[in-house]
A and B are shown apart, each in its own frame.
Chain A
Amino acid sequence: ETGVTQSPTHLIKTRGQQVTLRCSSQSGHNTVSWYQQALGQGPQFIFQYYREEENGRGNFPPRFSGLQFPNYSSELNVNALELDDSALYLCASSSRTLHTGELFFGEGSRLTVL
């Protein structure tokens, strides 16, 4: 059983650019969620996907968008990057079927916006 993997691990962008972050869910998990963790803060919920559809969104603008693929992998896209978007982006997978409530996080993609 493989864990949650994210890529890239680090990246640097400039303001106004676009970025795509990728996540492979843990085997057997059908729900993926994305979180933004600013330095020294707790993770903030961006959105979650279930059966390839967005199924809940936090307080983030539309320039944050995502996709979930049939194999349950996922992408987070951020357009028109702003300096405040600099953060660690965490992907988490879970299984609604098991109803355990546990999220399995990847190690994150650290985005720096200059």
Chain B
Amino acid sequence: QQQVKQSPQSLIVQKGGISIINCAYENTAFDYFPWYQQFPGKGPALLIAIRPDVSEKKEGRFTISFNKSAKQFSLHIMDSQPGDSATYFCAASKETSGSRLTFGEGTQLTVNP
């Protein structure tokens, strides 16, 4: 059962544009929502994360928007750069489950120069 659905599967934006990736979850017990960035040949690395007590979190050019009632959250990358070209995964977990993350299927982002 796919508990975290991610879209789009791939995304192409121009340098300086805004990249938006969306995720929806089913399990209302989830209370931690991270985004991971993965470059080819590398393991995923934490980009930014949010907990459901806030609706938005911003770190530099990266912002998570969280809608608890809709069970949706999204990643916005402002002023997208070619170096942002990577695969992005949303994920969700229950804090009590330790390191058990449920990942989305990923979005391959390409930022053209």
- Do A and B associate with each other? yes
B106 touches A40 (CB 8 A): yes
B98 touches A43 (CB 8 A): no
Indicate if A56 sits at the interface (CB-CB under 8 A).
yes
Indicate if A112 sits at the interface (CB-CB under 8 A).
no
Chain B's nearest CB lies how many Å from the CB of A55?
6
A45 touches B101 (CB 8 A): yes
Indicate if A78 sits at the interface (CB-CB under 8 A).
no
B100 touches A48 (CB 8 A): yes
On whether A101 and B43 interact (CB within 8 A), knowing A42-B104, A48-B98, the answer reads no
B44 touches A90 (CB 8 A): yes
Indicate if B42 sits at the interface (CB-CB under 8 A).
yes
A43 touches B49 (CB 8 A): no
Contacts of B95 in A (CB 8 A): 99, 101
Contacts of A45 in B (CB 8 A): 100-102
Contacts of A24 in B (CB 8 A): none
B89 touches A48 (CB 8 A): no
22 contacts between A and B (CB under 8 A): A31-B98, A33-B98, A33-B99, A41-B106, A42-B89, A42-B103, A42-B105, A42-B106, A43-B44, A43-B89, A43-B103, A45-B102, A48-B98, A50-B98, A56-B97, A90-B43, A101-B95, A102-B34, A102-B46, A103-B44, A105-B45, A108-B43
Across the A-B interface, the 9 shortest Cβ-Cβ residue pairs? A105-B43, A42-B103, A33-B99, A94-B99, A102-B46, A48-B99, A42-B105, A107-B43, A101-B32
Interface residues of B (CB under 8 A from A): 4, 6, 32, 34, 41-46, 49, 89, 91, 93, 95, 97-106
